[in-house]
Structure 1
Amino acid sequence: MTWKAMLRGTVAAAGVAASILLTAAAPTPSPSPTSPIPDDPTDPVRALEYWLDGAGIREAWQTTRGKGVTIAVIDTGIGKAPSAFGDAVVGGTDVSGSGSPDGRSPVGVVDRDHGSWVASLAAGRGKADGSGMIGVAPEADLLSVSIGFGAAASVPFVDQVADGIRWAVDNGADIINMSFTTNTLDWDESWDDAFLYAYEHDVVVVVAAGNRGSGTSMIGAPATIPGVLTVGGVDQTGTASVEASTQGITIGIAAPSEGLIGVSADGELARWRGTSGAAPIVAGAAALVRAAHPELDAANVINRIIKTAIPVEGVEQLPDPLYGYGLLDAAAAVEASVAHVDENPMGDLAEWVRLYRRADVAPAPEPEVTPVQVAPLPAADPPSEAGSPLVPSIDSLRYGTLPLIVLTVPGILVGLGVTAAARRIRSARKQSTPAA
C-alpha cells in the first residue's frame, strides 16, 4: 500500500543526517515506454523514495516533469556529482565570501553536503537506466547559490540571504528554495525588500519550517515572512514528525521529512531527515505545477498546492499549526480544477511592511493658516510742549505732591499729640510718688 493510500484510508539548517530505518514503498507499474526519463520503481534506491508515490509525484509525471522551470537552491552549494545532477545546474554564485564564484563548491564543514541533498530531492536527474535517486522535478533546471551558516562565512548571514534572493531572481529563478531557519520570529529589514523583489518578479518562495530536534520549538524567519510557502514535516505514515519538524500558524503544507535520502557533494547517497528535505519536495512539486500551467502566477501556484492538499483526519481548522492545509498531493496540484485567486493565500508582505514597518506613512499635512484682520490702533496723542524737568508739572502736583501733603501732615500732628500726652503722664506720676 502506498503512502497516499494509507493517508486516504486513515484520514539551523532545517535538516540533519541520520541513521534511521527507511520504509520502502511498494513498487508501482512502470510508466509508459514513451516516458521522457527512464524510471524503474523496482530499483532499490527508487523504492526508498516513498514520497514519489505517496505524494502523487509519479502520477504527476504523466503530465510534466518540470521542463522549462528553474529552481534556485539558496544553501551550502550544489556539488558537482554527475550521477545526481548532470547538466541540471545552469548557473550559480557564491554570496558567502567563502565559496567558489559558480556556487558549486560546498561551503562549511558541518553542512557542506546540505545543499546537494536539498537539490537532489528537488531536481535530481537519476541515472540513464532509470535507477538511482531522482528528484521531484527531474527536468527542471537548478541555480546554485552558496551561503555559509555561522562561522562558515565572512559575510553577515542576513546580507547573504538578501543578496542570494536578488541574484536568483535576476538570473531567471521561477522558484526559490530555502531550507534553513533563524530560530527567531522577526527578520532583518533588508529582507523586506529582498522578498518583495522576488514576489514582484513572480517567484514562488518555498521555505522549511525547522526541526524540534535541532532546538526549534516554533517556526522562525524566513518561515514567518508573509507570502512564502512554509513546509512542515511528516513521517512515512503522514503523521506530524516530532523531531524532524516544528509547528506554527504560517505552515502552509506538509511533506515527508523522515526517512529521506539525498546525494552528497561527492555523489554518495546519504540518509537524512528534516524539513530541509520536505521543502525541496514541495519546491519540486511547485515546478511541476508551473510547467503544467505556465499561465499561472506565483500566488496561484501556491494556491493550487494548498487547496489540493490531502486532508488530515481530526484537523478541522485550517491552516493547522502542524499540517498547514494538509499533506502534499502533487498529482492533484497539477491536474485538479482550482479556482483562480487574486492574492497570495500565504499573506501580503507589502501590506505587512506598511502596517508594521511604517515604511510608507505619508508626512503630516501642513496646517492651513488663515490671516486674522486686526483693527488699527488709534493715533497717538500729540507730544506736549517741552519743559524743564526741575519745574513741577500740573500732573506731578496733582498725583504726587498734593497726595503726599494730605497724608503726611495729619500723621505729623498725630505724632506730636501722642508725644505731649506721654510727657504729661510721666510728670504726674513723679509728683504723686511718696517720700522715702
Structure 2
Amino acid sequence: MRRLVATVAALAIAASVAFVGGGASADSIRDREYWLTQYGISAAWNTTKGAGVTIAIIDTGVDGSHIDLKGAVKGGTDVSGVGAANGQKPIGTSSEHGTMVGSLAAGRGHDGTDGVIGSAPAANLLSISIGFGAGTRSSDDQIAEAVRWAVDHGADVINMSLTRNSLEWPQSWDDAFLYAFEHDVVVVAAAGNRGSGTTEVGAPATIPGVLVVGGVDRNGKASFDASSQGITIAVSAPSEDLIGAAPGGGYYAWAGTSGATPIVAGIVALVRAAHPGLDAGNVINRITATAKSPGVKVPSPIYGYGLVDAEAAVNAKVPKVTTDPAAELKEWIRIHRRADSTPSPTPIASPPATSAPTPAPHAGPANPLGTLLPTVALLRDVGVPLLVFAVFLALLAAWTVSLVRRVRRSRRT
C-alpha cells in the first residue's frame, strides 16, 4: 500500500491507496460499500437518487470513461494549464484521486448491481482538473477560478477533497466562495488526514459556510489516521476501508476524508433533489440536524454534529432555519479583513488650531492612594515653600511677643 500525499504550494490531498485491479469481481466491489446501508443511503434512494442535481468535483480530473462513470460527467474544464479541456484527463502525482472521488459521489455502477455506485447515482458531475504537483499556476489561483467556473456552469454542490494545510486562505478565495454562496451552492470540504500530516483542519474547511466532513472507521468511531480534528467539522462519514474507481478501469482500496467528503456531497445532492425549494443554509441544516449521535456531546471537534444519515436528511421533518452561508462569510470578511482594507491615517506636521488640548506627560508615578495623600510633586512644589514661610511667620511671631513683653516690663519700672 502506498501513500498519496501531493502538494502544490500549501494545497494538498491525502489518502492511503492500494490498486485492486480490473480482475476483481465487480460484485465484490459493490459488496465493499458498507456505507450504503449503514448510513441510510440505499434507503434514501426510495425517495430520490439525485436526478437533476449537479456536483462539481474540483480535483485531479474525473475519468468519465470508466465503466462506472459512463454518462455521469456532463462537463468540465482544466484550470491547471496541463490537463484536458473537458477536465477528464487525470493529472498530477495523485492523478487517480479525482476519479475515485467522483465515483463515490455519483458513480453509476454497471450491470445493475456491479461496480462502484455513488451516494447520488443519478446526479451529474462536472470535472474541474487542478494540478497537484502539475501546472504552472499557483494552486490558490486554480482553486479560485475552479469555484467560479463551477458556479457559472450550473453546480448545485461543490466537492473539495483537499486542504491548504493552513487555517488561513488568500483573499481571492473570499470572493470565489462568497460567489458560490450567493448563488446558493453548497460547498463540501474534507477535514484532512492526521496520518498525512494535517493535524488540524485547514482551508477550505476553515471557511465559514462550508460543510466540513470528518472521518470515522467502519464502526463509526473517529479515525485517528484518516481524519483531522477541528471545531468547524459539521458531520462525519466513513473514511476507512473505502473503494473507488481507478482511471482507465479497475478500482482502488483507499482511506481518508477525501473519500468521506464525496459520500456526503452525494447525500447533499439527494437532499437538494428531494427538496428543490430549500436554500443552501437549510440543506446544510438538514444534514447536520439529522446526523446520528456519536455517543459524545455534540457539536464535537471530532464528529461535528454526528454521523451523517442520508435517509433522515432526505425524509425527516426538519424545521427551517435562517442560516445563510453567504452572510456568515461576509461577517468574517468584515471583521478579519477590516485591517487590510482600512487606510492608514495621514500624518500631519502639527495639530490643527481647533484641536483639543492634550494633557502634559505625567512627571512621576501615579499616586496609588488617589487624593488622600499629597503627591511628591505637590510636596516639592507647594509643601516646602509653605513650610519655610510658616517657620518665618513663627519666628516673627515669637520676636513680636518677646518685644511686647520687654515694653511692658520697662513701663512697670
TM-score when normalising by structure 1: 0.73
CA distance, structure 2, for counterparts of residue 45 and residue 87 of structure 1: 20
What stretches of structure 1 of length at least 5 have no aligned partner? 1-11, 21-41, 372-436
SS in 2 for 1:221: coil
- Asked if residue 306 in structure 1 is aligned to residue 288 in structure 2, the reply is yes
1:278 and 2:260 aligned: yes
For residue 351 of structure 1, what is the aligned residue in structure 2?
331
Secondary structure, in 3 states, of the residue corresponding to 1:233?
A: strand
Query: Does 1:258 find its partner at 2:240?
Result: yes
Matched, 1:153 2:135: yes
Q: Deviations over 1:20-71 (max 9, x none)?
A: 9xxxxxxxxxxxxxxxxxxxxx932221100000110000000000000000
Match of 1:137 among 120, 138, 141: 120
Which residue does 1:233 correspond to in 2? 215
Give the one of 56, 61, 74 matched to 1:72.
56
User: Match for 2:251: what amino acid?
Assistant: L
Q: Give the structure 1 partner of residue 17 of structure 2.
A: 17
Shift of 1:142: 0.2
Q: Distance in 2 between matches of 1:287 and 1:370?
A: 66
Structure-2 residue corresponding to 1:201 = 183
Q: Does 1:112 align with 2:95?
A: yes
**Structure (1 or 2) with the greater strand fraction:** 2
Residue 146 of structure 2 is aligned to residue 164 of structure 1? yes
For 2:332, give the aligned amino acid.
W
Q: What residue in structure 1 maps to residue 309 of structure 2?
A: 329
Following superposition, the deviation at residue 182 of structure 1 comes to: 1.1
Cα offset for 1:113?
A: 0.4
CA contact (8 A) 1:303 1:345 kept: no
Q: 1:48 aligns with which of 28, 32, 37?
A: 32
Q: How far apart in 2 are the matches of 1:344 and 1:277?
A: 26
Residue matched to 1:57: 41
* 1:99 aligned onto 2:79: no
Q: Which amino acid aligns with 1:61?
A: W
Cα distance in 1 for residues equivalent to 2:16 and 2:246: 13
Note the alpha carbon deviations across 1:280-303, whole angstroms, 9 max, x for none. 000000000000000001111100
AA of the residue aligned to 2:141: D
CA distance in 1, matches of 2:320, 2:190: 26
| Alpha-carbon separation, structure 1, partners of 2:315 and 2:149 | 32
Number of aligned positions between the proteins: 331
**Relative to 1, partners in 2 of residues 1:116 and 1:19: Cα closer, same or farther, differing over 3 Å?**
closer
Where has structure 1 moved over 6 Å in runs of 4 or more?
359-364
Contact 1:354 1:360 in 2 (8 A): no
Distance in 1, Cα, partners of 2:324 & 2:240: 29
The more displaced of 301-310 and 80-89 is 80-89
C-alpha distance in 1, partners of 2:157/2:221? 27
After superposition, give the CA deviation of every residue in 1:216-270 in whole Å (9 maximum; x if it has no partner): 1111111000000000000000000011111000000000000000001112111
Contact 1:74 1:177 survives alignment (8 Å) = yes
CA distance in structure 1 between the aligned counterparts of 2:252 and 2:19, rounded to whole angstroms: 9
Deviations 1:94-149 (A, max 9, x none): 001110111011111x3000000000000001003321111110000000000011
Amino acid at match of 1:268: G
Taking structure 1 as reference, are residues 346 and 310 closer, same or farther at Cα in structure 2, changes over 3 Å only?
farther
Q: 1:240 to 1:346 in 2, by over 3 A?
A: farther
Q: Quick check: 2:208–2:325 contact (8 Å CA) kept in 1?
A: no
1:123 counterpart = 2:106: yes
SS at structure 2 position matched to 1:253: strand
Deviation at 1:321, TM superposition (A): 0.6
- C-alpha distance in structure 1 between counterparts of 2:18 and 2:28, whole Å: 19
- Cα deviation, residue 343, structure 1: 1.1
Q: Which is greater in Rg?
A: 1
On the 8 A contact 1:14/1:208 being kept in 2, the answer is: no
Matched residue of 2:109: which SS?
coil
**Would you say the 8 A contact 1:69–1:141 is kept in 2?**
yes
Per the TM alignment, residue 347 of structure 1 is displaced from its structure 2 partner at its CA by 7.6
Q: Does the 8 Å contact 2:57/2:128 carry over to 1?
A: yes
1:239 is paired with a residue whose SS is coil
Q: Which residue of 2 aligns with 1:86?
A: 70
Pairwise CA distance, 1:319: 1.7
Structure 2 unpaired stretches of 5+: 1-11, 21-25, 346-351, 355-413
Please report how far the alpha carbon of residue 362 of structure 1 lies from its aligned counterpart in structure 2 after TM superposition: 10
Deviation of residue 153 (structure 1)? 1.6
Residues in 2 aligned to 1:153 and 1:105: alpha-carbon distance in whole angstroms: 13
Query: Aligned ranges for residues 183-202 of structure 1 at < 5 Å?
Result: 183-202=165-184
**Matched AA of 2:99:** S
**2:181·2:325 contact (CA, 8 Å) conserved in 1?**
no
Counterpart CA distance in 2 for 1:233 and 1:345 is 23
Matches of 1:346 and 1:202, distance apart in 2: 9
Write the distance in 2 (CA, Å) between the matches of 1:17 and 1:197: 34
The separation in 2 between residues aligned to 1:252 and 1:361, in whole angstroms, is: 33
What's the CA shift for 1:154?
A: 0.8
Name the SS of the counterpart of 2:202 in structure 1. Answer: coil
Aligned to 2:271: 289
Partner of 1:341: 321
Give the match's secondary structure for 1:305.
Answer: helix
What percentage of residue pairs aligned between the two structures are identical? 58
- Contact persistence 2:178–2:326 (CA under 8 A): no
Superposition RMSD on alpha carbons, in Å? Answer: 2.1
Offset from partner CA, 1:332-368 (integer Å, 9 cap, x none): 000000010111479811100001101776999xxxx
